[in-house]
Amino acid sequence: MTDVAPTAVDHDRSHDPDAPRTGPARLEIKELAVAFGGLRAVDGVSLVVEAGSIVGLIGANGSGKTTLLDAVSGLVPLSGGRLFLDDADLADYIPEERSRLGIVRSFQDCRLYPELTVEDTLMLCEDARRRVGVLSTTLQMPWARRSEREKRKAIDGVIASFGLERFRLHTTAHLSTGTRRVVDLASIVLANPRLLLLDEPTAGIAQREAEAFIPLLRRLHEVTDSTILLVEHDVPLVFELCSNVVVMQTGEVVAAGTPDEVRRDPRALAAYLGASDEALNVSGPLAAASTPAVPRDEASGEAASGEAASGGAPSDEGG
C-alpha cells in the first residue's frame, strides 16, 4: 500500500506534534464479512474510500451499513476480510487505538454522555489526545496544569465557533437532539480526524435543519481535512454531498459509483431508491439544496442570515 498524498484543501498542520500523521486517510475494505450468529450482516464487501473524498453509504434498514461502520471502528469482530487505513492493517488496533490513528466515529443515537456538561464532553476529546497521568493530575504538576489550560483554550475556540457558549455548563441529558448533534460535530472537529465515520448525522433532526446540514458537512469536511464515510437515509443529501455513493442490500454492495451513475443504475433503483421520485426528493429539489439554506433558530423562530457555513442554531428543550 502506497502513501496517498492529501488531495483536499491543504491545511498546515506541521505545527501539531501530537498527530503522527496528518491529512485525509484512504480506507480500503477487502472482502469484509461480519456475522452475528447465523446472520451475515456484512457479506464480502470490498470498497475503497479515496483520501479526501466523501463517500455516501445508502441502503434499506438492516442492509449492514451501520455494521460496516462498526467494523471499521472496531466495535464488532470481523468474521472475514481485512481493513486498511493507508498502509496500516486495522486488525492490529483496538477501538481506542484506532481513534489515535485518526478514525473518528459519530453515532446514530448521538447519546453522548448524559451526565457530562458540554464543556466536559469536549474536554474529553482533548483528553484522548493529550494524556496526563493521574498521579501528575493529583499532584497538580506544572505540565498537568499547562495541559489542562491548553485543552481549555482549544475547546473555548470550538465552543465559540459552534455557538455553544450558552450550553457550556448544561449536561448533555438536558440538550435537544439537534444541539447534541452540534456538540457531537464540535467534538469531531476537536478530535482532528483523518477518516470520519458519520452514522446518520441528520437522524432525529427536523427536515429544515437537515437541509442546513449539507453546507455544514461540507465545511466540516474542509475544516477537518479528512475523508468522510457517511451513512444516511436522506438520499438527496447524499447525492448532493458525496463524490461517490455506495448502495448496500442485505450485507452486499449492489451498486457503487458517482451519484449520477448510481442514480441511473437499475440495481440501485431496485434495491433502495425505488422507481418513484419521492425518495429522491426528501430534502426538496436538488437545485434548491445546492444554494445555502437559511438557518433558523428553533427556539426563537427568528431567521439569522449567515455565511455559507451556517446551519440551524442549537436549541434547548427546556428553554
Q: Contact with other proteins (CB under 8 A): which of 58, 125, 237, 293?
A: 125
Among 5, 46, 89, 111, binds other proteins (CB under 8 A): 111
Q: Judged by CB under 8 A, which of 1, 91, 128, 288 binds other proteins?
A: 128
Which residue of 48, 223, 282, 286 would you call a contact of other proteins, by CB under 8 A? 223
Q: Please report how close the Cβ of residue 303 comes to other proteins at its closest, in angstroms.
A: 10
E strand or H helix that includes residue 33: strand 27-36
- Give the Cβ contact number of residue 281 at 10 Å: 13
Phi first, then psi, for residue 102 (nearest 5°) are: 110, 10
Q: Which residues of 201-235 are buried (b: 16+ CB within 10 A; e: fewer)?
A: bbbbbeeebbbbbbbbbbbbbeebbbbbbbbbbbb
Q: Which of 28, 50, 120, 252 binds other proteins (CB under 8 A)?
A: 120
Identify whether the C-beta of residue 188 lies closer than 8 Å to the C-beta of residue 220: yes
Residue 313 interacts with other proteins (CB under 8 A): yes or no = yes
Site for other proteins in 80-109 (CB under 8 A): 95-96, 98-100, 104-105, 107
Q: Which is nearer to other proteins, 40 or 105 (CB)?
A: 105
By CB under 8 A, residue 187 contacts other proteins = yes
Pick from 46, 137, 281, 290 the residue near other proteins by CB under 8 A: 137
Q: How far is CA 253 from CA 58, 197, 235, 240, in A?
A: 10, 18, 16, 20
Supply the minimum distance, in Å, between the C-beta of residue 250 and other proteins: 25
Task: Count Cβ atoms below 10 Å from residue 29 Cβ, excluding itself.
Answer: 21
241-280 residues near other proteins, rule: CB under 8 A = none
CA 299 to chain centre: 26
- Closest to other proteins by CB, 7 vs 117, is 117
| C-alpha cell of residue 7 | 488531495
Residue 27 binds other proteins, judged by CB under 8 A = no
